[in-house]
Structure 1
């Protein structure tokens, strides 16, 4: 709510009514959208805000002295403040706009790879990642391995999908420079102990980047409580637009990073023989920023923040548990990831059927799920699968959605019998 008041009783049907797309049909069936971990749908508040800005309040930011530019700048920077509040950052100056979580991680990795600066990576320096990471939190670190001689070390997972914290502690050492770990796995739903991971890394002098693209949706993204150096979010999973995300960084961590891209806005002075850079966050925001998208993300987070997060998490978990209960005893189904306290993701493999086929058959019944490796090939290899299917629940999903999902899954499986 715009006034900041909290909705104390959570009603998923009232929430659902705010999403126009959820009233449509797919293949002659009501849409059951369970692909939220890939990208969430957009509430009317975000849609209306984008339209209103384009129709009556758009201009470039920071560079104009006219009314429209001043209004757009105010809305743009207000959105930055909303992100800071959502993450519990100390100040909005710790929030850098990016085009998504992937760019945010690349921004940090690029800074480590530059040959100048306090953070420059050296051959033999170690970067710790986990077996459950999304490719976006793997590939940028591989760049440092390929180009600068960094060493990647991998924290294994246990059979239930939880992180092996004893193995993680053993991997830490004097050459550890960065620990990059997901707050919540996009495949397993595992919610990692981000604060403990950070504490152990800091004890050996390493920095920590938390990929919060899923965790910011289903867990509690409190960067001060976690203590991490960097935290990454992406807007489209948080009910906002695509093409927008944010990087939180501790003030000293951002100050130590060299610029990621060059151009307008990120400079202090440009002369023929030298250049000086702006302070963070603008140092990392070269060129015209995603103005509409940032405003839309601010509205989305304001909208989301009106709901009690614990109540939302309880609702999502109830949907997940209902699906598990209905599927209990199905010997043709393998559930991937059952760590205690996990988020509301149900990833599975169907015996004798490819995940793509399962998803396509379920689509005939209006049920949208994700199939493939979910941009997590090292994890798929660890689990011994070539692909899997994933249903991911959001606050606008209902028990009826869950029942429709289970019914469609059973029908899909019967197709292969």
Structure 2
């Protein structure tokens, strides 16, 4: 879809890609952890601190009003990007992890002894631990949707697990380990039949899939900026307006109040009810530039190109003797992530040698220890692709894995 010239034009917008690692050109394929930032995102940070820097919502002076305008403009931009009904349904948080914790904390009063919460084997620790804590506090039961040998959810078991006792179902949209795209629409519809709320962890989705929260009819959707070419330390919780209005605040302090007295405090309207304290103003404003970058290229175009990279990588890496690829072969159910191991070799050893070749991959349990236990491994090697990666980089990865394998088996 993209010519080499077009990809090079995109790559030229990312200054870090010119960096040398141990005298080798950087091959950055750790995008599921965080994506790199284009010039316009980096420049936006400098512009903010040079010309706008001021606290928001609270000041009458020009800079405060200007800062507030840009923050609220990005809120509206995100509303449009995910097709939310109201901008007030967009709550700014530190990221996906805090968004999940916010929901787990704020719905606590709805959970009673004997209630049930459902997650899956595919979840990141951030979508496991908050629900474990909530269940422990409330003496509720945590149920797990199993997976098959390819890592696909066994939905027939989900239909068995869900009941009138189920209060919330929390599932990732795309697995951060296997890249599997889960059938979240089916899960949401089934959950609603039983009156359960649904939270979707969309950390791996922005700029990879077209996202329409109204079409999904999801109750909560969470993701971060730093995995879509934006800054770290900023993310969002999308929640349906009527549900957010019903929930308790997660944190308290400035901004989230309406009136405070020593007798009683009343809270602000949405979204400020859930945004206590000074927000990451710079992060929010800079995120707007990242969204512009994504929309200029086009989510569908990015998605298609990354699928091509994934397909090429799977075909090429499959030729390596002793390699174990995880996640199945159905590319229609896969995003741009490929995790693997090499027989008789530890993932850390392979990753360390790849690093000496200038290749940035992720190694270890990938914040998904239950999934590692399912596959009976201590960790995996994960390569995850973005719009600035190339087929030549995959060729280089292939050759480097062969060299790493040869060296490690000799020593």
TM over 0.5: yes
2:207 touches 2:302 (CA, 8 Å); kept in 1?
no
1:83 aligns with one of 71, 78, 87? 78
User: What is residue 380 of structure 2 aligned with on the other side?
Assistant: 388
Provide Cα deviations, 1:164-214, integer angstroms capped at 9, x if missing partner: 111111111000000000000000100011111100000000000000000
Q: CA deviation at 1:12?
A: 2.0
Superposition map of 1:224-303 within 5 A: 224-303=214-293
User: What is residue 52 of structure 1 aligned with on the other side?
Assistant: 47
SS in 2 for 1:162: coil
Provide Cα deviations, 1:109-129, integer angstroms capped at 9, x if missing partner: 001224xxxxx2101111100
Q: Which runs of 5+ in 2 are unaligned?
A: none
Q: Which runs of 5+ in 1 are unaligned?
A: 1-6, 115-119
User: What is residue 415 of structure 1 aligned with on the other side?
Assistant: 407
SS in 1 for 2:378: coil
CA distance in structure 2 between the aligned counterparts of 1:9 and 1:295, rounded to whole angstroms: 32
- Identify if the C-alpha distance between structure 1 residues 350 and 8 changes in structure 2 by more than 3 Å, giving closer, same or farther: closer
368-377 or 76-85: bigger deviation: 76-85
Provide Cα deviations, 1:57-79, integer angstroms capped at 9, x if missing partner: 11000011111001000001111
CA distance in structure 2 between the aligned counterparts of 1:226 and 1:187, rounded to whole angstroms: 23
SS in 2 for 1:215: coil
User: What is residue 100 of structure 1 aligned with on the other side?
Assistant: 95
**Is residue 359 from structure 1 mapped to residue 351 from structure 2 by the alignment?**
yes
Provide Cα deviations, 1:353-378, integer angstroms capped at 9, x if missing partner: 11111111001111000000000011
CA distance in structure 2 between the aligned counterparts of 1:68 and 1:357, rounded to whole angstroms: 52
- Identify if the C-alpha distance between structure 1 residues 68 and 165 changes in structure 2 by more than 3 Å, giving closer, same or farther: same
CA distance in structure 1 between the aligned counterparts of 2:324 and 2:358, rounded to whole angstroms: 23
User: What is residue 111 of structure 1 aligned with on the other side?
Assistant: 106
1:13 touches 1:398 (CA, 8 Å); kept in 2?
no
Provide Cα deviations, 1:278-332, integer angstroms capped at 9, x if missing partner: 1221001001011000111121112111122222112111111112222234331
1:231 touches 1:248 (CA, 8 Å); kept in 2?
yes
After superposing on structure 2, the runs of 4+ consecutive aligned residues of structure 1 that deviate more than 4 Å are 7-10
27-36 or 406-415: bigger deviation: 406-415
Provide Cα deviations, 1:226-251, integer angstroms capped at 9, x if missing partner: 11100001111111111100000001
2:178 touches 2:326 (CA, 8 Å); kept in 1?
yes
Q: CA deviation at 1:339?
A: 5.5
SS in 1 for 2:179: coil
Q: CA deviation at 1:8?
A: 12
TM-score normalised per structure 2:
0.96
1:41 aligns with one of 22, 36, 39? 36
- Identify if the C-alpha distance between structure 1 residues 133 and 335 changes in structure 2 by more than 3 Å, giving closer, same or farther: same
SS in 2 for 1:60: coil
